[in-house]
A and B are shown apart, each in its own frame.
Chain A
Amino acid sequence: MLARFRRPSPWASSPPSREKKGGRGGVGKSCLLLQFTDKRFQPVHDLTIGVEFGARMITIDGKQIKLQIWDTAGQESFRSITRSYYRGAAGALLVYDITRRDTFNHLTTWLEDARQHSNSNMVIMLIGNKSDLESRREVKKEEGEAFAREHGLIFMETSAKTASNVEEAFINTAKEIYEKIQEGVFDINNEANGIKIGPQHAATNATHAGNQGGQQAGGGCC
């Protein structure tokens, strides 16, 4: 099974100048992807423009599934571009930075955007990234949980740097998609759902959404 996760990068809503000023890359979408696909952390990462792709094979319920992950730009200025890549994603990771309140505040906008331009059944996981920076935390875990509960999302806090919960975030999203397939929520014969069954495999598309500050969201999987 191939699962395509699209990370709606538009979910990154920090202004361009912010990234330059603070020297911050964003909420960490690309770093999450790199940690998941390559098991490494790259502290300095190119600002994502357009879409970058990643993929990894995982096993769920004894079945091998290829997750195709689309890492989309998180900056607000790329939002219109990222929007066009929501289509066909089975899942998404909506990412904010726990050390930046503004990234959390913009979640609603990104969530609306993702839901508007994607499959209504798309699984969305809310990720509070940079959990290793506890001393700089601006968003309580309980706030993330409450937001997720209110909007029907799955929630996890992760650290791309320490790899904490990164595997779980992607795999749990994939499991959720898999369960929806089992339940018949996703029509696996409709490729628009982002799920493709090969001769001996199925493919699932999951989308990542990141929010502010350049998290990777959007595209492929994440």
Chain B
Amino acid sequence: MLSSVPQRKTRWKSKKMVKVTRSYPIFPFLNVWEEVRGLLPVDGEPNPGVGLGVEEGLLCQMVHSPEFNLFPDSVVFESNFVQVKKGRNWVDIYKASNTMAVGVTSSVPCLPLPNILLMASVKWHQGQSQTWNRPSKAPKIILKRILPLKFVELQVCDRLQRILQLRTVTEKIYYLRLHPDHPETVFHFWIRLVQILHKGLSITTKDPRILVSHCLVPKNSCSPSEDSNSVQKKPQASQPSESLLQLMAEGESEALAQIFADLHQPSQLSSRSSKKTQIKRDNSEKNTPSEDSIPCTPDLRWRDSFTYGEWERENPSCPQPLSLLSTLAASMGPQLAPLIGNSI
């Protein structure tokens, strides 16, 4: 059993051999719904999620590869980000060839919300498209962290600059700018994900065509008026074009529908700090933790008071009822469009 240094290219090839198992069978309702809407890709047609670089990407291929073999039955929603830091302007921390792949997935495909965050560093070759899922020459990707989403707070930090703030319960903060190679649609997906992680599945129940048997989110954390207000406030000009809507609808049917179908209950951290979830549009904040700084040891005692429900468990005891899926389907509907471009 000889062992030698694995060549990157070889390793990549082996990854490409990995069969990505998707969670379609877990969500028959979604499939039916998609078929009705004609959103399931016809055989031979490219998966819009893959085309947008949010599905079956580098991160997905890595965690599903034999080397890690993690969450093999769960879809990964991912994008490429550039890590930045706050100053007068946002400043890249690393060279342009170094990016960060960030994604969410579910430890168990049947979870209604994603519960895992994945982070990997990616080093690209000169001139290589940094969102291409299957580059001829594989970039060097190193899985860095797997974080339970309930210990992570994700916020839209600067919408115009397409920057997310990722804060862990240990107060480690990352500012992540969506890579410029990603279309705007992809950032809308992240906005949508942030919304759902903050507010739970309730925001996916706006489609009157969807009969929702119950709401997973406590009433005090899902204010209908707040949602409706935010929708109304959305300026007309910010609404996406028809083509974009179609693209998003298709993309979401493939990417977010899968992710949202797995969406987990809002993270504990997010719920705790719901008041902080508004977008920070400028750099005026003082006393912001430094990026990648070493935080002080946090007081985690608040977690002791948590009562973990079935939806928050890493490994639910049984498949979740399909009735819940009705709350998810709405997230894929055309009515998603009004939320696009809206502040959270």
Contact = CB atoms under 8 A, between A and B. Distances in A.
Nearest to B10: A199
B80 to A, nearest CB: 19
Interface stretch (A59-67, A90-98, A164-172): A59-67
A46 B295 contact: yes
Given A20-B299, A77-B300, A1 B1 contact: yes
Given A47-B297, A196-B66, A198-B11, A57 B5 contact: yes
Contacts of A188: 1
Nearest to B108: A84
A200 B146 contact: no
B168 interface: yes
B3 A63 contact: yes
A51 B145 contact: yes
A202 B170 contact: no
A116 to B, nearest CB: 14
A120 B300 CA distance: 33
Given A80-B314, A196-B67, A2 B6 contact: yes
Q: What is the size category of the interface that chain B forms with chain A?
A: 35 or more
B147 interface: yes
Contacts of B169: 49
A18 to B, nearest CB: 10
A71 B185 CA distance: 35
A46 B148 CA distance: 16
Given A51-B145, A53-B145, A63 B66 contact: no
Interface in A28-54: 42, 44-47, 49-53
A64 B172 contact: no
Nearest to B70: A85
A53 B143 CA distance: 7
B3 A200 contact: yes
Contact of A84 (B5, B11, B117, B314): B314
B3 A201 contact: yes
Interface string A105-143: 000000000000000000000000000000000000000
Contacts of A2: 3, 6, 67
A52 B11 CA distance: 21
Contacts of A50: 117, 145-148, 151
Of A16, A42, A191, chain B has the most CB atoms within 10 Å of the CB of A16
A114 to B, nearest CB: 17
B341 to A, nearest CB: 32
B5 A16 contact: no
Interface string B279-294: 0000000000000001
B69 A88 contact: yes
A86 B297 CA distance: 26
Contact of A64 (B3, B67, B143, B144): B3
A81 interface: yes
Contact of B2 (A46, A80, A200): A200
B226 interface: no
A191 B67 CA distance: 8
Contacts of A85: 146
A145 interface: no
A17 B301 contact: yes
B312 to A, nearest CB: 11
B62 to A, nearest CB: 11
Interface in B307-321: 313-315
Contact of A17 (B1, B14, B294, B299): B299
Contact of B294 (A45, A57, A77): A45
A201 B1 CA distance: 7
Contacts of A16: 299-301, 303-304
A45 to B, nearest CB: 7
B4 A49 contact: no
A200 B4 contact: yes
B140 to A, nearest CB: 12
A20 B303 CA distance: 13
B144 A53 contact: yes
Please list the 7 inter-chain residue pairs (A to B) with the smallest Cβ-Cβ separation, ordered nearest first: A1-B3, A200-B4, A16-B300, A50-B147, A202-B3, A63-B3, A201-B4
Given A16-B299, A84-B107, A191-B69, 16 more contacts: A1-B3, A2-B3, A4-B67, A17-B301, A20-B299, A49-B147, A49-B151, A50-B145, A53-B144, A60-B3, A77-B300, A80-B313, A88-B69, A196-B67, A199-B7, A200-B5
Interface of A: 1-2, 4, 16-17, 19-20, 23, 25, 42, 44-47, 49-53, 55, 57, 60, 63-66, 68, 75, 77-78, 80-81, 84-85, 88, 181-182, 188, 191, 196-203
25 contacts: A1-B1, A1-B2, A2-B6, A19-B297, A20-B297, A20-B299, A20-B301, A47-B170, A49-B168, A50-B117, A50-B148, A53-B142, A53-B144, A55-B142, A57-B5, A63-B2, A64-B5, A81-B314, A181-B1, A197-B2, A197-B3, A201-B5, A202-B1, A203-B3, A203-B67
